[in-house]
């Protein structure tokens, strides 16, 4: 399955006390095994790295983790000014935060679901794209 991977899933997959830990780990296993293919906006890299750093993860481990999720065959999509305006339209239409709207915009653009644990994306993103949980 091709999908947009939201940072919430990647972060939860490294936090055993999270309620969705097992589901998030299973989704990342499917990505690692090639059963799923991730399409990821470039902001995912900074978003995941920053969150894991704040949680106390080792910088080298963060780099390896993010590197594995963004390596081929997964696709990282850069967001320039035209794409940012398209994501802004999604933000206005759905009342999502900018980063969340970027994931939803990318899913709508690619015609694939966004995989997330973010309650706002789950509730509001469905106005623009298919939303699935891990």
CB 120: neighbour CB atoms within 10 A?
Answer: 15
Domain residue limits at 91: 2-132
Element (H, E) at 75: strand 75-77
What is the C-alpha to C-alpha distance for residues 91 and 86, in angstroms, rounded to an integer?
9
The strand pairing partners of 131, in sequence order, are 114
Q: Provide the CATH number for the domain around residue 64.
A: 3.40.50.1010
pLDDT in 10s for each residue of the chain, 134 residues:
999 999 999 999 999 999 999 999 999 999 999 999 999 999 999 999 999 999 999 999 999 999 999 999 999 999 999 999 999 999 999 999 999 999 999 999 999 999 999 999 999 999 999 999 99
What is the C-alpha to C-alpha distance for residues 107 and 59, in angstroms, rounded to an integer?
29
User: How many folded domains does the chain comprise?
Assistant: 1
């Amino acid at each position: 399955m091709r999908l947009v991977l939201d940072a919430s899933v990647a972060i939860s997959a490294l936090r055993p006390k999270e309620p969705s830990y097992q589901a998030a780990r299973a989704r990342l296993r499917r990505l690692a095994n090639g059963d799923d293919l991730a399409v990821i906006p470039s902001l995912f890299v900074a978003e995941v790295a920053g969150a894991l750093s704040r949680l106390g993860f080792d910088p080298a481990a963060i780099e390896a983790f993010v590197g594995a999720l963004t390596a081929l065959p997964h696709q990282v999509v850069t967001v320039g000014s035209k794409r940012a305006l398209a994501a802004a339209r999604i933000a206005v239409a759905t009342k999502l935060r900018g980063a969340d709207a970027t994931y939803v915009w990318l899913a709508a653009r690619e015609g694939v679901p966004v995989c997330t644990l973010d309650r706002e994306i789950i509730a509001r993103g469905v106005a623009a794209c298919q939303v699935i949980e891990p």
